[in-house]
Homo-oligomer: A and B are copies of this chain.
Amino acid sequence: MLWLNGEIHDGPVAPFDLRDRGLLLADGLFETILAVNGVALCLADHLDRMEAGAARLALPLDRAVLETAVAAVAAGAENRTGVVRLTVTRGPGQRGLRVPADARPTVLATIAPWRPEIAFSPLRLALVTLRRNPFSPVSTMKTLAYLDNVLALEEAAAKGGEDALILNTAGHVASTSMANLFALLDGRLVTPPVDDGVLPGVTRKLILALAPGLGLAVAERSLAPKELGEAEAVFATNSVRLLAPVSAIDGTAIRHHTVIDALSQALREALARACGFDPFAKGS
């Protein structure tokens, strides 16, 4: 089932204008949103980020249409639960790179099953050679130009990792292929700044907001790769895995720290308050 430009289609195939610049030039944005019992978690934050990206791309969006699309696919899923992929593109264009003045964006939403057990589960990382580019606005937006992430994950998997540890071109820690990274260093929570070529993650933002309430100072600053090895804890955040403890980097184990449990609990409670129920409760 999918929602495309206002219409629901039962299968994955629908009539599509193949001049779409999302397909031809990666000219578009997406969000991955967890829906549980019909509630799209942190929906406003996801749509805020998409709108901020669209403003930078001069891509006109109608927020009400985005909300309708997400609600439609969530309503149609088993238990109204799943991982929503919301995609917007520039829409069809003529040949060439120049952005058309009369763009009619494409809006697409789909939903895939979510396995609750992947939330809060640990991740083994492998350092990859591919690096993120802090000199491109594309590195700080969730655009369709995701092939770097695909290749980084394949490289990590070939090295025995479940996800990639990606540096930026300056050699600083950036992110994984699908999540932001945090390190606990001398009792302080450190995460790379967006200017290092990092996506401003929705769960990253929540963690930065929740940490002070647990007595944890937070810092957005460049991180050297060797600091990860010296850290008291390392974890990754995204909207599907929520908070994933990093259990090893390149086969070297990373200690577990009670701060991870406290932050996971605080995150879970914050999401439960926003939903009106605990989305991670068994049987929810």
A contacts, CB < 8 Å to B: 2, 4, 12-27, 30, 57-58, 83, 85, 87, 89, 92, 94-95, 97-99, 108, 110, 112, 129-138, 143-151, 153-154, 157, 169, 177-178
Complex contacts, A4 vs chain B, CB 8 Å: 18
Contact (A16, B19) CB under 8 Å given A26-B145, A87-B24: no
Residue of B nearest to A2 (CB): B18
A19 and B153: CB pair below 8 A? no
A149 touches B97 (CB 8 A): yes
A-B contact pairs, 12 of them (CB 8 A): A16-B16, A25-B147, A26-B26, A26-B145, A27-B150, A95-B112, A97-B177, A98-B153, A98-B154, A144-B145, A145-B145, A145-B147
Which B residues touch A130, using CB under 8 A? 135-137
Chain B residue nearest to A56 (CB atoms) is B151
Dominant secondary structure at the A interface? mixed
Q: What B residues does A92 contact at CB under 8 A?
A: 12
B16 near A178: Cβ-Cβ < 8 Å: no
Instruction: Give the nearest-CB partner of A4 in chain B.
Output: B18
**CB-CB under 8 A for A135 and B145, given A15-B14, A87-B24, A97-B153:** no
Q: Enumerate chain B residues within 8 angstroms of A57, measured Cβ to Cβ.
A: 151
- Contacts of A22 on B, CB cut-off 8 Å? 23
With both chains docked as a complex, state the minimum distance between the C-beta of A184 and any C-beta of chain B, in angstroms: 27
A210 to B253: give the CA distance in the assembly, Å: 56
Q: Which residues of B contact A177 (CB under 8 A)?
A: 97
In the bound complex, residues from chain B placing their C-beta under 8 Å from that of A13 are 15-18
Nearest Cβ in chain B — how far from A112, in angstroms?
4
A144–B149 Cα distance when bound, in Å, is 13
- Least Cβ–Cβ distance between A83 and chain B, in angstroms: 6
Q: With a CB–CB cut-off of 8 A, which chain B residues contact A153?
A: 97-98
Bound Cα distance A112, B13 (Å):
26
Residues of B within 8 A of A144 (CB): 23-26, 145, 147
Contacts of A157 in B (CB 8 A): 98
Q: Is the CB of A146 within 8 A of B97?
A: yes
Chain B residues with CB under 8 Å of A85's CB are 24, 95
User: Which residues on B sit within 8 Å (CB–CB) of A17?
Assistant: 12-13
Report B-chain residues with C-beta under 8 Å of the C-beta of A89. 23
A138 to B138 Cα, complex, angstroms = 13
* Smallest Cβ-Cβ distance to A92: which chain B residue: B12
What residues on B are CB-neighbors of A149 within 8 Å? 25, 97
Is there an interface contact between A18 and B110, defined as CB atoms closer than 8 Å?
yes
Q: Give bound CA distance, A126 to B19, whole Å.
A: 28
CB–CB B146/A135 < 8 A = no
